[in-house]
Amino acid sequence: MVSWICKVCSYTYNEVKGDLSNNIAPGTAFEDLPDDWICPICGAAKDAFHSVDEAEDHRGAGTTVSDVIVAELERWGVEIVLGMPGTSSLGLVDAVRRSSKLRYLAVRHEANGAMAASAYNKLTGKLAVCLTIAGPGASNLATGLYDAKQDSASVLSLNGQVSFQYAGPGGAQEIDQDAFFKPICVFNNTIYDKTMTVKLVTMALKHATVMGGVSQLSVPNNIQREPLDAEGARHEMCLKDRSIHPEEPLIGTAAELIGASESPVIVAGRGAYSVGEQVAELAEKLKAPIVTTWRAKGMLPDDHPWLLGIHGGVGPPQAISAVARSDLLISLGVGFSDKTAIPWGKRMVQVDIDPLKIGKRPYEVALWGNCGAVLPRLISLVEERKDDGRWEEVAAMKAEWEDTLSKEASVKSSPLWPPYIMDVLSRVLPEDAVISIDVGDNGWWFGRNFRMKGQTFVMSGYLGTMGFGFPGAMAAKLAHPDRPAVCITGDGGFQMAMGDFPTAVKEELPMAVVVMNNRELAMIRQEQAAEGLPNFATGLRNADYASYAEGCGGKGFRVERPEDLERSIRDALESRVPAIVDVNTDPRRFERSGGRKAGNVAND
């Protein structure tokens, strides 16, 4: 006697027991069942069943476990896979090779691949996949995956694993990947049983997408090539519309509170980045200034009449002053990093889709929902205010800050003064450029002095990891191939990632990489000075980055004089290949910036 399994719902017909629910007597062979007999659970016909023996080894299956995994990635709309092939991932990599829908980029270091995957999701909302080998390949992903975790970016880490892992012999490249990835992931598992492949891949993709984080799946090498017929496997679906609307009376309460305030200020974070026009509409109706978090820089052009700039150490003092003098803050998608420096004790209306972020500051009214869903209703309920001189006040504050930036940018010296570099970049970079910045002094000057005029930018936010700038620019070009991609980085950060510059050349990802080369870890130098410590271990011995670019097949430009900067950047943008602009940069900050304290640029 044999058991038969339904491919659709996994119901098992046991020939010994029969099917009493359909009056099939015990001992009835499957082949003797009536032709119109159907599965008592899901209603599938007889041809949807196969014997237990066939189900166990999937004899005759035309696809492997790896093929099934790739098919599931395709079904979920994945387009980009980044990683490095090796012994324990060859089955998976070969399945990707045979796919017509997936683009595979073999990076020189897995950390760069993971950071690019994180940046890709931040820029597009689409999920990218990291595909590496067991052991060191998987562990090298950690920094980039932690960036995704901290910034709530959706990434799938798909890793090979040694055959029959944890057998205990201490095999080559064998680590406990389930334990290693546990603190990083929202979903973490290993495919031990090939019949669970579709279920686990679906769960991994669903968790990463819905929860905004990293999912990890390890696939032992011996399982990757196993035959697997996934026809009839149950596929989970994912909720695509994640709009959350608060209760209508609560929105009305928020509108009343806003209407009763005299000097409200809008604080816009990354959660409101995609709805800048709605934020501007609310500001215009309330005659209220807007300040943003660091990660929300560029949600509106810097010359927008109601935008004061970034709140915190990297932004204008006028933004801090406006928040301090306000009687109500309207917080939109703000994570309340300590670098944002939103003061305690302010009355607040808070809007956020993440319930864990609601209440990080005391509030009067909290609206749980995404800004794109909440703002239209809130705008319709608040009354339009008369302009009682608020516009002139904000304009004067903006003019004061612009005067400060203009004076800083007027210094034309060699080595080049960072505010001058940012002033030139502000004028030269196209409005549709996608900018990836690194962590360090380069990012500090970008946040303070670069004037956004419609560009999109991406950064390592809460993790604040050096080396993010260049892989972020690779992701920018993958995400938006028809838009200019620009990396603004320091020499310290670029050295961490420069091994993948040849990858950008090989994959034909044209971009301009602006290296602010001050021959040291300038931010660390400033932090040492701020704490009264002597300068130590910050000096760098650098390569000739322009020659390096040429040697890799790209273009290289060396800038020693201020008058050469603009032309070099334009040439890099027009070169149609990856290009490095190596800028001899002044490392000083305090002497010419009014003594503003250095700080880490990680922010909301």
The DSSP annotation for 120-157 comes to: HHHHHS--EEEEE-TTHHHHTTHHHHHHHHHTT--EEE
Of 145-154, 156-165, 562-571, which range is least confident?
A: 156-165
- Average pLDDT on 539-557 reads 96
Give mean pLDDT, residues 475-496.
Answer: 97
Predicted TM-score of the model (pTM):
0.88
Q: Are 197 and 169 in contact (CB under 8 A)?
A: no
Token pair in block for residue 364: 């009067």
Whose CA is closest to 450, among 524, 526, 516, 546? Answer: 516
| Three-class secondary structure of residue 412 per DSSP | coil
End-to-end Cα spacing for the chain: 64
d(CA 6, CA 12): 6
State the average pLDDT over residues 225-252. Answer: 80
Q: Average pLDDT for residues 253-259, to the nearest whole number?
A: 96
Q: What gap in Å lies between CA 140 and CA 146, rounded to an integer?
A: 11
Q: What is the pLDDT of residue 58?
A: 65
Across the range 554-581, mean pLDDT stands at 98
Task: Give the whole-angstrom CA distance, residue 552 versus residue 549.
Answer: 5
Region of poorest pLDDT, from 63-77, 159-173, 379-393, 405-419: 159-173
* Residue pLDDT, tens place only, 168-187: 556 678 888 999 999 999 99
- What is the enclosing helix (H) or strand (E) of 113? helix 110-124
Would you state the pLDDT for residue 245? 86
Specify the 3-state DSSP secondary structure of 24: strand
Distance of CA 130 to CAs 89, 112, 199, 456, 493, Å? 12, 10, 19, 24, 22
Phi-psi region of 305 (alpha: psi -120 to 50; beta: other; left: phi over 0): alpha
Tell me, what's the pLDDT at 3?
84
509 in Cβ contact with 529 (< 8 Å): no
pLDDT of residue 598: 37
Beta strands in 421-540 (DSSP E): 434-437, 456-458, 485-490, 512-517
The candidate with the shortest Cα–Cα distance to 105, out of 478, 525, 550, is 478
pLDDT of residue 166: 54
The closest of 139, 190, 141 to 164, measured between CA atoms, is 190
CB distance 9 to 42 below 8 Å: yes
Task: Identify the DSSP state of 362.
Answer: -
pLDDT at 593: 47
Close Cβ partners of 403 (under 8 Å, ≥ 6 residues apart): none
Whether the per-residue pLDDT at 600 is higher than 90: the answer is: no
> What pLDDT is recorded for position 63?
87
Evaluate whether 258 touches 349 at the Cβ level (below 8 Å): yes
The share of the chain scoring above pLDDT 70, in percent, equals: 94
Is the peptide bond prior to 343 cis by the omega test (within 30 degrees of 0)? Answer: no
- Domains in the chain (CATH in brackets) are 3-57 (2.20.28.10), 65-224 (3.40.50.970), 248-394 (3.40.50.1220), 410-593 (3.40.50.970)
- Give burial (CB, 10 Å; 0-12/13-18/19+) of 554: buried
Helix (H) or strand (E) holding 70: helix 65-75
- The one-character DSSP state at 564 is G
Question: According to the model, what pLDDT value does residue 54 have?
Answer: 52
Contacts with 430 (C-beta within 8 Å, 6 or more apart), sequence order: 455, 484, 573
Question: Rounded to whole angstroms, how far apart are CA atoms 283 and 262?
Answer: 14
β-partners of residue 309 are: 291
pLDDT for the residue 169:
56
For residues 349 and 259, the answer to whether their CB atoms sit within 8 Å is no
